[in-house]
A = this chain, B = another copy of it.
Amino acid sequence: MNQGPTTHSRIAWAKWLPILAWGRAYDGRQLGGDLLAAGIVTLMLIPQSLAYAMLAGLPPQAGLYASMLPLLAYAVFGSSRTLAVGPAAVTSLMTATAIGQLAAPGTPAYWEAALALALLSGGILLVMGLLRLGFLANFLGHPVIAGFISASGLLIAFGQARHVLGVSAHGDTLLELLPALWHQLPMLNWPTLMLGGGALLFLWWSRQRLGRRLRAWGWRSGLVDVLGRAAPVLAIALTTLAVWAWNLQDQGVKVVGAVPQGLPSLTWPTWNPALWSSLAMPALLLSLVGFAESVSVGQTLAARRRQRVEPDQELLALGASNVAAAVSGGLPVTGGFSRSVVNFDAGARTPAAGVYTAIGIALAALLLTPLLRYLPQATLAATVIVAVLSLVDIAVFRRIWRYSRFDFSVAAATLALTLLAGVETGLVAGVVLALALHLYRSSRPHVAEVGQVPGTEHFRNVRRHAVNTCEAVLGLRVDESLYFANARYLEDCINDAVARRQQLKHVVLQCSAINDIDASALASLEMIEVRLREAGICLHLSEVKGPVMDRLSRTSFLQCLSGQVFLTHYQAIAALAPEGLGK
Instruction: Name A's B-contacting residues (CB within 8 A).
Output: 135, 137-144, 295-296, 299-300, 302-309, 311, 399-400, 402-404, 406-408, 411, 434-435, 438-446, 479-481, 483-489, 491-492, 495-496, 498-499, 502, 513, 515-516, 518-520, 522-524, 527, 530-532, 534-535, 545, 547, 551, 554-555
A140–B519 CA distance with the chains assembled, in angstroms: 12
Task: Decide: B547 and A446 in contact? CB cutoff 8 A.
Answer: yes
Task: Decide: A403 and B499 in contact? CB cutoff 8 A.
Answer: no
The list of the 9 closest CB pairs from A to B, nearest first, reads A141-B484, A303-B531, A142-B520, A407-B519, A141-B520, A142-B523, A308-B499, A479-B515, A304-B534
A502–B519 CA distance with the chains assembled, in angstroms: 43
A492–B310 CA distance with the chains assembled, in angstroms: 8
B-side contacts of A492, CB under 8 Å: 311
A284–B560 CA distance with the chains assembled, in angstroms: 36
A499–B304 CA distance with the chains assembled, in angstroms: 11
A504–B410 CA distance with the chains assembled, in angstroms: 37
Task: Decide: A403 and B555 in contact? CB cutoff 8 A.
Answer: yes
Task: Decide: B519 and A143 in contact? CB cutoff 8 A.
Answer: yes
Task: Decide: A488 and B138 in contact? CB cutoff 8 A.
Answer: yes
Closest to A402 in B: B554
Can you name 22 A-B pairs with beta carbons within 8 Å? A135-B440, A137-B488, A138-B443, A138-B484, A138-B486, A138-B488, A140-B484, A141-B483, A141-B487, A300-B527, A303-B531, A304-B534, A304-B535, A306-B502, A311-B492, A403-B551, A404-B518, A406-B518, A435-B439, A438-B483, A479-B547, A480-B515
Copies in the complex: 2
A289 CB to closest chain B CB, in angstroms? Answer: 14
Question: In this complex, which of A142, A443, A513, A522 has the most chain B Cβ atoms within 10 angstroms of its Cβ?
Answer: A142
A455–B88 CA distance with the chains assembled, in angstroms: 56
Task: Decide: B300 and A487 in contact? CB cutoff 8 A.
Answer: no
B-side contacts of A137, CB under 8 Å: 488
Question: In this complex, which of A311, A496, A515, A547 has the most chain B Cβ atoms within 10 angstroms of its Cβ?
Answer: A515
A305-B535, A479-B547 given. 18 additional CB < 8 A pairs?
A135-B440, A135-B488, A138-B487, A141-B518, A141-B520, A142-B523, A143-B520, A304-B534, A304-B535, A308-B496, A308-B499, A311-B492, A399-B555, A403-B519, A407-B518, A434-B484, A438-B485, A442-B481
